[in-house]
Chains A and B, each alone.
Chain A
Amino acid sequence: MSFAVSVIIGLAGLFALAAALRAAARAGLSGRARSIANDIPLTAAFGLLVIAIYAAVAIAAPALAPFAEREIVGNQFEAWSAEHLLGTDRIGRDMLSRLIYGARNTVGIAFATTALAFVVGSILGLWAALTGGWLDQVLSRIVDAFMSIPALIFSLLLLTIFGTSVLTLILVIAAVDATRVFRLARAVAQGIVVMDYIEAAKLRGEGAWFLIRREILPNALAPLVAEFGLRFCFVFLTISSLSFLGLGIKPPTADWGSMVRDNATLITFGDITPLLPAGCIALLTVAVNFVVDWQLYRASGLKE
């Protein structure tokens, strides 16, 4: 129970810090940055703060972690102590260190996967919407067919075939996710392509690359950025789930999903330590979702 209280106090502290930073930004900044600071809700400020902290931890992991990622430094399942703040895991590695390295591994892999899916999916989607005709039809029908298999199931099928190394994991999840990005990017671009300014540019004789770069992309950016956040959450949760199932990132690499799986037996004894990595996953996803929600609200609000 005291742990639950300290979690609540910690979250409240983060919220207070976010509020303080926002107030400082409102006072200190000027121009556009200031108007954003004025407009940002507390939840989104909290989200940005959490994302910044995760990024900092991921970058500085070796400096922050008291022990090495894969080193066995104690007995199995040691309790929380001064030396091992969060105890040790199933084979005696330091939990806190692995948690810190997990920020680097789990988040890094999820980010790389999302970025890959995004580049491929959105370029194809914009291109299909702009070109139209048979190219659009073929690409869209292929994507429709692939999307009629549930994402996790399709990923499992592909992982069975290609094996479960980190690289295949990234490629498989990115491929499956790119279909979703394609569909969104195409829908967004289709809304833009019917605008008269695109027709005007076509009449002027502009090429496809200019149209995508100067006319479509600037207008598609806001929804695509919001979608990037959502897709990241989805990929992050999928990879964590796969790791939890033993099919994703595998030990000894420190990863939050597999850490839960590895130490799950403790839960039946009422120990919450194995849930900490899951909590780390949840906190980051909540943070990203808060920011995305704000962005979506802004995008819809500006339209009115």
Chain B
Amino acid sequence: MRIALFATCLADTMFPAAAKATVQLLERLGHEVVFPEEQTCCGQMHVNTGYQKEALPLVRRYVRTFESCDVIVAPSGSCVGSIRHQHAMVARQAGEEGLASRAETVAGRTYELSELLIDVLKVEDVGAYYPHRVTYHPTCHSLRVLRVGDRPLRLLRQVRGLDLVELPAAEQCCGFGGTFAVKNADTSTAMLADKMRHVLDTGADVCTAGDASCLMHIGGGLSRLQSGVRTVHLAEILASTEAGS
């Protein structure tokens, strides 16, 4: 299958390993990956901070960049959530009904990585090998906006060598929330403290999730604690093989 990658601005700029791993994983599974270079950002930060007018060109850009693609994947539950639940709304708010319906069509072909693997490519065992003790944080937008459910866990359970440990109070937000982490830094930090305590309680050496943004938050806190626990994107685990990826 020919699959277009939406890398997301955060992974493209700060966490390229997550986007690279998505490419390597899909190619290993026998698919062709394309990367339309006109892509930048889905506009979620603007929409969620109250700048819908500013987000409009970014919605238009996403639609224009990807509307010729049959299947689009992004290694982020949050960005896909925004594409699926906000793009058409932003267009409608601006009175652009035509753009809104195009946005709906493109959103319908845009998948978060675990959705693509399980629902479209019908694969649970991706042939990965990752000999670590891992705990999975289901990010809020994967869980409650996209409803990915246990798809990421089903993928992780098939990874050879991986010791999956359950995260207590997993469904509670890590406290990132985009600009929330800056505008309400103290509350965000209090939420993060509890999330980190739960991660450390598992004894895992790796905390994974489907969103680089939440991992940046949790990882930034764990790094400050010098805890030794690493944050690794789900795509990177699934891309790992015995031979090295």
- Please indicate whether A and B come from the same complex rather than being unrelated chains: no
A residues touching B (Cβ–Cβ < 8 Å)?
none
B residues touching A (Cβ–Cβ < 8 Å)?
none
